[in-house]
Structure 1
């Protein structure tokens, strides 16, 4: 969700900086970008190391509330995301949302989408091991009732890509706030605006696409 479908990374960066500042510390965007795609409880450990005197669970809940409030005011779509989801829905392609954000936050996105856009939703507070572990994607495939090898995962972060590849799903990385390096079996694109059903089928069949080349 974050960074792939909606551009919430600025929301997370601002929320992390505010929380750390309230506990007397300092936090930079560069530090925040290191957490992109990570499980919230793992991110919380880093924030504890920067002076946030709360439990991991308290930090995760605090950040979720802050970002959810920002999302309630505006859902910042990534280019091409809403259009791709609409096309997949019209064609009857079953979709799952696999995110490390918590259910409270995800509800704001779901409210902004037509009913049935996602048949399955797997959130960070509903799995034991978050990304980069493959559990979230394996769980999504199980709930969809399909072999994960017949799925295409679209990601924007290093932990997300690692999770998707480890699950056995064909994987496409879309350029986001952090570089995703070349990896065997990984396709990379500049924007969801270039992604359609034909390209998804090509990648599912074992084809590799790389629009980034040596850029990252």
Structure 2
């Protein structure tokens, strides 16, 4: 979700900065970049080490509420081509799942702003025990969809997200945004979702399965 469908990473960095500085600490852009793609409770431990004297659940609650407020005040910053690709996939009747390490209430908020029924399933960070790069969230999403992960295509923008998708057995498409992705992190790298179609996703799946089985 964050970074793949919506450009919310800057919102998270604002929330992190305000939280750390409220406890007298310093938080740089580089500090924020290390959080991209991590589970929120792992991020909370990093913020605690930076001087935030709160328990992890409270940190997650405050960060999420801050980002949700920004979404209401500023609007949802959709990534280029994201909604259009979702619409094309749904028009083809493909089942879809939103797999994110943000919490469920934020994932639901964003899903409701798409403008159509975009997802059959949402699996969020507070619905799993193990965050990305563990594959649990992807395995759970496939289970809820009633499919095998090897029959799925996962689209991710971060290294931890791609690692989770690869470990689940899904075919992977990497779309780098805030952090660079290397050849080999995903089955295919796309510079953007703009102009992509359901046929493009099917082609990636077919060609990858021909190579790897």
TM-score band (shorter)?
Answer: over 0.9
Find the aligned partners of 1:184 and 1:178 in 2 and give their Cα distance.
12
Find the aligned partners of 2:186 and 2:48 in 1 and give their Cα distance.
36
| 1:119 is aligned to 2:115 | no
Aligned to 1:53: 53
Q: Is the 8 A contact 2:152 2:171 kept in 1?
A: yes
Once superposed, what is the RMSD of the aligned Cα atoms? Answer: 1.3
| Stretches of 4+ aligned residues off by more than 3 angstroms | none
- Which string of whole-angstrom CA distances, capped at 9 and with x for unpartnered residues, describes residues 135-166 of structure 1? 00000000000011010000000100000000
1:71 positional shift:
1.3
1:183 positional shift:
1.3
Find the aligned partners of 2:102 and 2:185 in 1 and give their Cα distance.
27
Q: Secondary structure at the match of 1:161?
A: helix
Aligned to 1:103: 104
Q: Secondary structure at the match of 2:46?
A: helix
1:150-165 counterparts in 2 under 5 A? 150-165=151-166
Q: Secondary structure at the match of 1:97?
A: strand
Find the aligned partners of 1:148 and 1:33 in 2 and give their Cα distance.
29
1:115 positional shift:
4.1
- Which string of whole-angstrom CA distances, capped at 9 and with x for unpartnered residues, describes residues 147-194 of structure 1? 110100000001000000000000001021101112165211100014
TM-score (norm 2): 0.94
1:5-24 counterparts in 2 under 5 A? 5-24=5-24
1:90 positional shift:
1.3
Aligned to 1:212: none
Aligned to 1:30: 30
Deviates more, 1:1-10 or 1:105-114: 105-114
1:131-146 counterparts in 2 under 5 A? 131-146=132-147
Deviates more, 1:122-131 or 1:111-120: 111-120
Q: Is the 8 A contact 1:68 1:104 kept in 2?
A: no
1:107 positional shift:
2.3
